[in-house]
Amino acid sequence: MVTGCGAGDSASAVSCSVSRLEGLVALEAQMGTALSQAASEVPFSFSLERQDGRRFTFNRGGATLQTAYESKSASKLVTAIIILWVVEKNNLALSERPQDRIADWPTGGGNPLFAMTLAQLLSFTSGLTLVPPCLNDGSADFETCVVDIASVNEGNGSTPGQQFFYSEAHLQVAGLMAVRARGVANWQALVADFKAQTGLFPSSTYDSPSLSNPALAGGMHFTGEDYMGFLRALKNGSLLNAASMGELLADRTAAIPIVFSPIFSGIGGGAGLGEDWHYGFGLWHECRSPTFNCAPATRVSSPGALGTYPFWDRSKGYTGIVARAGAFGTLTKGIEIERLVRAVAEAWADC
């Protein structure tokens, strides 16, 4: 399916020349052929959107942009944006610490983790490395589990700001801070507030392992259509102001070691890419190199462990997603599917 420039019914809707339109159609056909032959053990939906709104979508195996998928880490970017949205409303500051908002936060002043900030939580540099079982227990209490995160990490030997460690724990704590700052009952109420004010994610929800104890770093069910709308709003600047965008897109790992990266080494038994990606707030700064030698924020993304891959190519001005649900540990599959057509997609974005 193609929508946008050149797809209207009237001549006035066609803003591009016939030759340019023919070029776009040819490039889309080329992407469709490649995607039909892509190695994927499960159905998937692939979609791109240019700066001018033209969209290319390819569906395989019965998948569509209306299919609901479990996000895994594709929700990390969404969660980070929701929390930054709270910050923008002057309800919260990036310099605040968990104990400033969570009354029963147990980490005392004698522990190095006492100094962790919201900015460090959003960038996975807070020092949290351990995840208690309650985070994946649907019957657990969300707030009690956040306190348990603090308790299990108190003796982990980490100091905030000294290393990057990819973990579910960071965003769970940051999420409760945002709930407290916004003055709402729980994460679901905060998301409802965000949805009502932005119109985004109407068919998506944080519901895994349960509605009452959602995993903010990976517990969302989403549709590709919802996620594409979110990426459009982010790209067009209608979600965050310039200052917040600057915070979101800053490279937070340029000067510290990356201790655990599933992009480099894999996750859940699956292989990684062996590439040194850096991290911002809930998003990766991509770099196709074993040592980071790329311009930060050129291409950012938030891939998930089931193979979903949402991305924003800022150098070419287009966004996209591979939406799929493979086995846990197939993190790289969506990236590999997209890379089959990346060169053609870039030409399509430039056409």
pLDDT values of the chain reduced to their tens digit, one per residue, 351 residues: 443 343 333 333 333 445 888 999 999 999 999 999 999 999 999 999 999 999 999 999 999 999 999 999 999 999 999 999 999 998 899 999 999 999 999 999 999 999 999 999 999 999 999 999 999 999 999 999 999 999 999 999 999 999 999 999 999 999 999 999 999 999 999 999 999 999 999 999 999 999 999 999 999 999 999 999 999 999 999 999 999 999 999 999 999 999 999 999 999 999 999 999 999 999 999 999 999 999 999 999 999 999 999 999 999 999 999 999 999 999 999 999 999 999 999 999 999
Under 8 Å CB-to-CB from 207, ≥6 apart: which residues? 214, 219, 220, 221
Buried b (16+ CB within 10 A) or exposed e, 300-326: bbbbbbbbbbbbbbeebebbbbbbbbb
Bin 223: left if φ > 0, else alpha if -120 < ψ < 50, else beta: beta
Taking the C-alpha atoms of residue 172 and residue 180, their distance in angstroms, rounded to an integer, is 13
pLDDT for 258:
97
pLDDT for 19:
85
Overall domain count for the chain: 1
Taking the C-alpha atoms of residue 257 and residue 161, their distance in angstroms, rounded to an integer, is 10
pLDDT for 125:
98
pLDDT for 18:
59
Q: Is the dihedral of CA 305, 71, 129, 240 positive or negative?
A: positive
Residue 349, classified by CB atoms within 10 Å of its CB into exposed (0-12), middle (13-18) or buried (19+), is buried
Task: Give the range of the structural domain holding residue 92, as residue numbers without chain letter.
Answer: 2-350
Question: Within 13 Å of residue 5, how many CA atoms lie on the same side as its CB?
Answer: 20
pLDDT for 1:
41
CA-closest candidate to residue 284, choices 314, 242, 326: 314
User: Considering the entire predicted model, what is its pTM?
Assistant: 0.94
CATH code of the domain in which 185 resides: 3.40.710.10
